């Protein structure tokens, strides 16, 4: 693929190489030749084994389990290596932007780690960022370089439209996800309901009330991410107790830390639909009620548009 004699290459770290290969397949490109490993003392070593001089380079890397901080450092060092090798333009493709939940000072002396990570990426030499469903939309403004923000809802909506579920209600697991819930509800033509919860401490949630009608309905719970799965599992249980029929759940980012796999396996959730922004554990992949959908076509189209200097936002216009 060429445009105005400029060329494109896609590289990846170790966070989600399968997704990077799928993106390259969609683009009709080979994956860039690089080796990212660690020295015996744990320091990260990067080798870019082909020329990138004057080339439009995209580096695919999420910050996720099992090595969140290593994956962040891999991205920073790869960007530095590419910058020093005279790459024409470097785009950090971050399907899942870790540290996004630390986006503000919730109490005195809290860090704003999401901003710190943004500063590190810019300082390393990235020219732009491509990401999906940031936990907090204001993180887009933390970067002093262009950022393109993709949405996972259209992929999820298309999947559920094909299932053609009757008597459907789309449910937000908390007040913070209402906008995303409304977006999905519009796309599948269903009303919404809201779970009123409180979080007495991190990774712990308590369901207080259900706002909306769910009795006798099939419901879809939607969130941007599922971490320990406490919120989504408790919400599913509360919905069943309120008379809901089948409970489906979906999210863009399957973090799935700690007891998430066992909680989902033993939950009231009939099917959990997850996008592959994160390379989930084998234990999660083996669960019969988990369906993985690929974001590769969406990211490849965004990369193609960035390379050709076309609009990315028009991808989501209806």
Please report, rounded to a whole number, the percentage of residues in the chain having pLDDT higher than 70: 94
Per-residue confidence (pLDDT) for residue 160, from 0 to 100: 97
Could you confirm whether domain 153-293 is CATH 3.40.50.2020? yes
pLDDT band at residue 195 under the 50/70/90 scheme = confident
What is the pTM assigned to this prediction? 0.93
Per-residue confidence (pLDDT) for residue 16, from 0 to 100: 97
For residues 75-97, give the mean pLDDT. 98
Per-residue confidence (pLDDT) for residue 176, from 0 to 100: 81
Per-residue confidence (pLDDT) for residue 171, from 0 to 100: 96
Where is pLDDT greater, at 203 or 103?
A: 103
Could you confirm whether domain 8-151+296-316 is CATH 3.40.50.2020? yes
The average confidence (pLDDT) of the chain is 93
- The per-residue b/e assignment along 30-69, b for 16 or more CB within 10 angstroms, e otherwise, is ebbebebeeeeeeebebebeeebeebbbbbbbbbbbeebe
User: CA distances (Å), 201 to each of 90, 185, 226, 236, in order?
Assistant: 39, 30, 16, 20
Q: Which residues are catalytic?
A: 197
Tokens (6 digits) for 186? 């519009």
Asked whether residue 140 is marked as a ligand-binding residue, the answer is no
Asked whether residue 88 is marked as a ligand-binding residue, the answer is no
Asked whether residue 104 is marked as a ligand-binding residue, the answer is no
Please tell me the distance from the alpha carbon of residue 272 to that of residue 220, in angstroms, as a whole number: 9
Asked whether residue 149 is marked as a ligand-binding residue, the answer is no
For residues 275-287, give the mean pLDDT. 95
Which of 214, 139, 206, 216 shows the shortest CA–CA distance to 181? 214
> One fold for both 8-151+296-316 and 153-293?
yes
Q: Structural domain boundaries of the chain? A: 8-151+296-316, 153-293
Asked whether residue 102 is marked as a ligand-binding residue, the answer is yes
Per-residue confidence (pLDDT) for residue 24, from 0 to 100: 98
Asked whether residue 135 is marked as a ligand-binding residue, the answer is yes
Bond before 269 cis per omega within 30 degrees: no
């Amino acid at each position: 693929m060429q445009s105005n004699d400029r060329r494109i290459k896609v590289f990846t770290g170790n966070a989600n190489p399968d997704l990077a290969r799928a993106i390259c397949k969609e683009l009709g490109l080979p994956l860039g030749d690089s080796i990212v490993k660690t020295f015996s003392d744990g320091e990260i070593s990067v080798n870019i084994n082909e020329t990138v001089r004057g080339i439009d380079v995209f580096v695919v890397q999420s910050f996720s389990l099992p090595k969140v901080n290593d994956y962040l450092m891999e991205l920073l060092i790869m960007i530095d290596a590419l910058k020093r090798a005279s790459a024409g333009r470097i785009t950090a493709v971050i399907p899942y932007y870790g540290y996004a939940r630390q986006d503000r000072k919730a109490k005195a002396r809290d860090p704003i780690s999401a901003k710190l990570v943004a500063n590190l990426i810019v300082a390393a030499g990235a020219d732009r960022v491509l990401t999906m469903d940031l936990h907090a939309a204001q993180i887009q403004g933390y970067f002093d370089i262009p950022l393109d923000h993709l949405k996972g809802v259209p992929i999820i909506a298309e999947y559920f439209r094909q299932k053609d579920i009757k008597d459907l209600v789309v449910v937000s697991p908390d007040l913070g996800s209402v906008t995303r819930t409304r977006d999905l509800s519009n796309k599948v033509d269903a009303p919404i309901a809201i779970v009123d919860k409180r979080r007495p401490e991190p990774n712990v949630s308590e369901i207080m009330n259900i706002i909306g009608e769910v009795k006798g309905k099939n419901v879809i719970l939607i969130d941007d991410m599922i971490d320990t799965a406490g919120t989504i599992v408790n919400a599913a249980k509360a919905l069943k107790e309120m008379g809901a029929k089948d409970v489906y759940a979906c999210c863009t980012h399957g973090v799935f830390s700690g007891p998430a796999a066992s909680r989902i396996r033993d939950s009231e959730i009939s099917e959990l639909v997850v996008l592959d922004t994160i390379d989930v554990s084998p234990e999660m992949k083996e669960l019969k009620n988990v369906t993985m959908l690929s974001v590769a076509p969406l990211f490849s189209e965004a990369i193609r548009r960035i390379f050709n200097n076309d609009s990315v936002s028009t991808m989501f216009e209806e």
